[in-house]
């Protein structure tokens, strides 16, 4: 059903986060306002406090009213959070990103690494790949246990970490990756693993990828061991299209690929599940530069574009898909001009000025 048929407003929950979060969120909303004008869309931004702001005001960095508001929203824009600096969870220091991921079952973390025209990548060759990262399992301590933490110390001198890999989790992330590969021109998918050492866990992950591949004969499928993959990305990232892997490997390889494509500051990211999606910058909250209007908002702007694309597919609304592509094009236009770049890209433009340039590039598109 299209937006015209629904006569609906797109309601987006907006969570500023910590550090540079409020600044890059503000810049992103500037771009979305331009999108609304350009494509005749209607957005409603429902802002709620999280992070240190909420901790100070409400005693928790993730108030329960956020989850209560989720069913009323079509998507979420989440600024970066400084959860490592929060107090213990028992004292209200909950990780907003983790709470949303777990409670909304956002199992797919989709991270494109895309070179921008006029901004040569450090690797020397253009990069256009997507890392599809399993987002709910793996070695991360908050994703392996129903109750408790996946890391523990039997004695003061021994630290142990548990990793969880399930058939359900591996199968659904493989399906998500193959579906994405089917929509891309090269139709190539690489499963990345360490099954030569982690024979049981990564063996199960590979078994699921191979089984899913049988349903996608149109997709070229291969496999790489993770350490070899890290080297191959440096040698020639242009050879890869869609990469699917487990949680920790995907986290590391996506940051590597983003730097090789140009900059982590340009790297968009979408956390998606069956019914919900969160646009979230791939980078952190950078508290050392907060409040100075020098942060690059490109990552969150690109993440918001991914969210519109996700909504466009679900609603069968081509305007949202076109709007997502237009944001990407506007980013390309602005980044290609050295005088319009932020400091991390070699320019001297502030966060809000850069966002305004992107918004104007959107409006100027024919």
pLDDT tens sequence across 110-155: 999 999 999 988 877 889 999 999 999 998 878 777 777 888 899 9
Helix/strand/coil for 200: coil
- Residue among 321, 308, 277 at smallest CA distance from 75: 277
Which of these is catalytic: 8, 128, 255, 344? 255
Q: What is the DSSP letter of 203?
A: H
Q: In whole angstroms, what is the distance from residue 307 CA to residue 112 CA?
A: 13
- Alpha carbon 4 to its chain centroid, in Å, reads 28
Q: Say yes or no: domain 120-261 is CATH 2.60.120.460.
A: no
Which of these is catalytic: 16, 86, 194, 241? 194
200's CB contacts (< 8 A; 6+ apart) are none
Q: Which helix (H) or strand (E) holds 244?
A: strand 242-245
Tokens of 258: 């983003």
- Residue among 85, 83, 77 at smallest CA distance from 31: 77
For the domain 1-105+268-366, what is the CATH code? 3.40.718.10
Which of these is catalytic: 227, 236, 274, 364? 227
Helix/strand/coil for 277: strand
Residue 4 falls in the annotated catalytic set = no
Residue 221 falls in the annotated catalytic set = no
Mind listing the pLDDT tens digit for each residue in 268-306? Answer: 999 999 999 999 999 999 999 999 999 999 999 999 999
Q: In whole angstroms, what is the distance from residue 255 CA to residue 111 CA?
A: 9
Mind listing the pLDDT tens digit for each residue in 297-307? Answer: 999 999 999 99
Mind listing the pLDDT tens digit for each residue in 187-227? Answer: 999 999 999 999 999 999 999 999 999 999 999 999 999 99
- In the chain, residues under CATH classification 3.40.718.10 are 1-105+268-366, 120-261
Residue 214 falls in the annotated catalytic set = no
On whether the CB atoms of residues 158 and 169 are closer than 8 A, the answer is no
Which of these is catalytic: 86, 251, 317, 340? 251
Which of these is catalytic: 86, 107, 140, 221? 140
Residue 227 falls in the annotated catalytic set = yes
Residue 187 falls in the annotated catalytic set = no
């Amino acid at each position: 059903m299209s937006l015209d048929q629904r006569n609906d407003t797109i309601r987006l929950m907006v969570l500023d986060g910590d550090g540079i979060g409020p600044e890059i969120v503000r810049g992103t909303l500037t771009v979305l306002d331009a999108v609304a004008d350009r494509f005749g869309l209607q957005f409603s931004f429902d802002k709620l406090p999280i992070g240190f702001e909420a901790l100070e005001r409400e005693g928790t960095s993730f108030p329960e009213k956020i989850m209560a508001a989720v069913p009323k929203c079509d998507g979420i824009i989440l600024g970066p959070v400084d959860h490592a600096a929060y107090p213990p969870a028992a004292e209200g220091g909950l990780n907003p990103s983790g709470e949303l991921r777990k409670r909304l079952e956002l199992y797919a973390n989709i991270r494109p690494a895309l070179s921008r025209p006029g901004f040569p990548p450090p690797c020397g060759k253009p990069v256009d790949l997507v890392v599809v990262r399993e987002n709910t399992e793996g070695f991360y301590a908050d994703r392996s246990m129903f109750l408790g933490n996946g890391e523990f110390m039997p004695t003061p001198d021994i630290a142990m970490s548990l990793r969880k890999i399930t058939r359900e989790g591996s199968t659904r992330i493989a399906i998500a990756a193959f579906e994405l590969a089917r929509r891309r021109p090269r139709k190539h998918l690489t499963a990345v693993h360490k099954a030569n050492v982690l024979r049981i866990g990564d063996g199960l992950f590979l078994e699921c990828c191979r089984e899913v591949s049988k349903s996608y004969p149109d997709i070229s499928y291969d496999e790489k061991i993770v350490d070899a993959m890290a080297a191959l990305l440096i040698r020639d990232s242009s050879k890869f299209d869609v990469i699917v892997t487990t949680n920790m490997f995907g986290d590391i390889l996506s940051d590597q690929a983003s730097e090789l494509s140009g900059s982590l500051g340009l790297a968009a990211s979408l956390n998606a599940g069956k019914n919900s999606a969160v646009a979230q910058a791939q980078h952190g909250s950078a508290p050392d530069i907060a409040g100075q209007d020098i942060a690059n908002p490109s990552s969150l702007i690109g993440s918001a574009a991914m969210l519109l694309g996700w909504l466009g597919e679900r609603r069968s609304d081509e305007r949202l898909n076109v709007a997502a592509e237009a944001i990407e094009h506007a980013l390309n236009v602005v980044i290609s001009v050295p005088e319009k770049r932020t400091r991390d890209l070699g320019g001297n433009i502030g966060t809000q000025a850069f966002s305004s340039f992107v918004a104007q590039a959107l409006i100027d598109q024919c």
